[in-house]
Chains A and B, each alone.
Chain A
Amino acid sequence: MLMSRSTIYKILGILVIMTAVEGTLFYLTLRNMTAAEVVGLELVFQQSRILWVCALGYLLVTALLCLTGCEFSGKQGYTLHRLSVSQRSVFLWQAFYNICCFFLFWAVQLFIVLALCRLYMEKIDPPAISNQTVFLAFYRNDFLHSLLPLADMSRYVRNIFLILGLGIASAYFPIRQRRGGTGVGIIVLSAVTLLFFSHSMGSLGNDILVIVFSIATATMALYGALKEEAANET
């Protein structure tokens, strides 16, 4: 698939850079803290500003997925229109690919924080840690908890719908752009993600709000893409 071919290496590049930057920031923060300051794993995560790096990485991946396929210096839509495969199929495959990319982003970010937790456990003197340290950090820190919500089921459901919504809305963006419009859904959903992703444990209202917003954005994108395709075919 053309889309995956032109984005996968860039996305992997972003993830590699993100891993390196987050690892470096965490390591430096940990090294510069005195023994008295290192009072908790969540504090090291907070002070190393990993959340900001993750947000930047997320924006870059989203922008890449949205802008690839847009027409800036040509009319690639003319070529896509002449393929034997329908525009509906192109959109659905692109949505599937984008969902996989956002899932990969989440998985890599989770892998990074788990690896950093292991680093923390190895660097800190045994009396200062316990076998509950990582477990508690994932409950105390909003960002860690939102990445891996443990027993918080509503947050898992929210994350699944968020990934689906982001994948579908980002796939609709280039279609709208090629037709002279703007896919505002992904822009608004990205803003919602940045504002509401990190939230404390048990914020059911916040989770429901994000779920509803993700479903609404994805539904509008699906309806828009499939309706326009049906109109073109008739």
Chain B
Amino acid sequence: MIEIKNINKSYTGKRALKDVSLRLPQGEIIGLFGENGAGKTTLMKCILGFLPYSGEITLDGSPITRKNIARLSFATSEHSFFPNLAPKGHKEFYAEHFPRFSEKRFKGLMDFFELPMNKTLRNFSTGQKNQFEVILSLCQGADYILMDEPFAGNDVFNREDFYKVLLGILEPRETVMLSTHLIEEVSGFIGRAVLIRQGKIIGDVSMMELEESGHNLMSFIKDTYHYRADRVSRALDELTGRDE
């Protein structure tokens, strides 16, 4: 289990995370939702140790260091692959550095997305790059797969196919934490939703609890965010009124 205790993170005076505490048990698919700048990416980067922070993050009771970092993988829209290397080269590199790298899954996902094995990544389209980034994170053999806006730039059909494949291939030990704005798309696929706003966790609910209470994910998020449904109509009234 990944346990996050009272994490604080500031960027030049501005607090990006405020006393964030969270538990990520194995085998869950967790959606991490929030506006731009809410702290989703910062939280993931703190978990991975890319950013310094105050507080404590442990993996099965031990701090996350080079010894156990291979149990975490990361797919980011910023792309962490090597652009001058082809997928075949990545496969060899990952197999060398990550002992639990799954060649079978790699080949299967490459075939599924119809990605070329010998073309350098810099010549891929944005959608293909995203797909490859996700493939690497899923094949590393990690127990915790963190995905930060992995589908930015992919079409809806592509994404839907991907969700189905993901649900089919994940093993019980694998946990996925998915940060995305595509709330409705992932609502049928995640098991738990975590909401973050201005660096604070403001909601954490399982999809089963939501269903039992008769809510759906979108209404839960809107309620938690105190979304004002009349905001748009009032703004339009004001704007058109000014024109008159």
Contacts of B164 in A (CB 8 A): none
Q: Does A47 contact B (CB under 8 A)?
A: no
Q: Which residue from B65, B81, B84 sits with its C-beta under 8 Å from A79?
A: B81
Q: In the complex the two chains form, is B93's CB within 8 Å of A75's CB? A: no
Q: In the complex the two chains form, is A73's CB within 8 Å of B84's CB? A: no
Which residues of B80-118 have CB atoms within 8 Å of chain A's CB atoms?
80-85, 89, 93, 97
Interface core residue of A77, A78, A83, A85 (most chain B CB under 10 Å) = A78
Nearest-neighbour CB distance to chain A for B121, whole angstroms, equals 8
Q: Which residue from B81, B83, B97 sits with its C-beta under 8 Å from A83?
A: B97
Q: Does A86 contact B (CB under 8 A)?
A: yes
Residue of A nearest to B136 (CB): A79
Contacts of B84 in A (CB 8 A): 6, 68
Q: In the complex the two chains form, is B48's CB within 8 Å of A82's CB? A: yes
Instruction: Determine, out of B32-40, B71-79, B236-244, the stretch whose residues face the partner at the interface.
Output: B71-79
Q: In the complex the two chains form, is B89's CB within 8 Å of A84's CB? A: no
Contacts of B122 in A (CB 8 A): 73
Q: Does A36 contact B (CB under 8 A)?
A: no
Q: In the complex the two chains form, is B70's CB within 8 Å of A79's CB? A: no
Contacts of B82 in A (CB 8 A): 2, 6, 74, 76, 79
Q: Does B186 contact A (CB under 8 A)?
A: no
Nearest-neighbour CB distance to chain B for A93, whole angstroms, equals 13
Q: Does B69 contact A (CB under 8 A)?
A: yes
Q: Which residue from B74, B83, B85 sits with its C-beta under 8 Å from A82?
A: B74
Please give the number of chain B residues whose Cβ is less than 8 angstroms from any Cβ of chain A in the complex: 24
Q: In the complex the two chains form, is A75's CB within 8 Å of B79's CB? A: yes
Which residues of B2-52 have CB atoms within 8 Å of chain A's CB atoms?
48-50
Q: Does B228 contact A (CB under 8 A)?
A: no
Which residues of A53-106 have CB atoms within 8 Å of chain B's CB atoms?
68, 72-79, 81-86
Contacts of B85 in A (CB 8 A): 2, 5-6
* A5 CA to B97 CA, complexed, in Å: 15
Interface core residue of A68, A72, A84 (most chain B CB under 10 Å) = A84
Q: In the complex the two chains form, is B79's CB within 8 Å of A74's CB? A: yes
* A74 CA to B121 CA, complexed, in Å: 11
Nearest-neighbour CB distance to chain A for B101, whole angstroms, equals 12
Contacts of A78 in B (CB 8 A): 48, 50, 74, 76, 78, 80
* A86 CA to B67 CA, complexed, in Å: 10
Q: Does B66 contact A (CB under 8 A)?
A: yes
Which residues of A1-32 have CB atoms within 8 Å of chain B's CB atoms?
2, 5-6
Residue of A nearest to B92 (CB): A5
Q: In the complex the two chains form, is A82's CB within 8 Å of B69's CB? A: yes
* A79 CA to B69 CA, complexed, in Å: 11
Which residues of A179-234 have CB atoms within 8 Å of chain B's CB atoms?
233
* A6 CA to B97 CA, complexed, in Å: 17
Known interface pairs A5-B89, A78-B50. Does A84 touch B80 (Cβ–Cβ under 8 Å)? no
* A74 CA to B85 CA, complexed, in Å: 13
* A85 CA to B96 CA, complexed, in Å: 11
Question: When A and B form their complex, which 8 residue pairs have the shortest distance between CB atoms, in order from nearest?
Answer: A74-B79, A78-B80, A75-B78, A79-B80, A75-B80, A82-B69, A83-B97, A6-B84
Extra 8 A-B pairs, beta carbons < 8 Å, given A75-B78, A82-B74: A5-B85, A73-B79, A74-B80, A78-B76, A81-B48, A81-B50, A83-B97, A84-B67
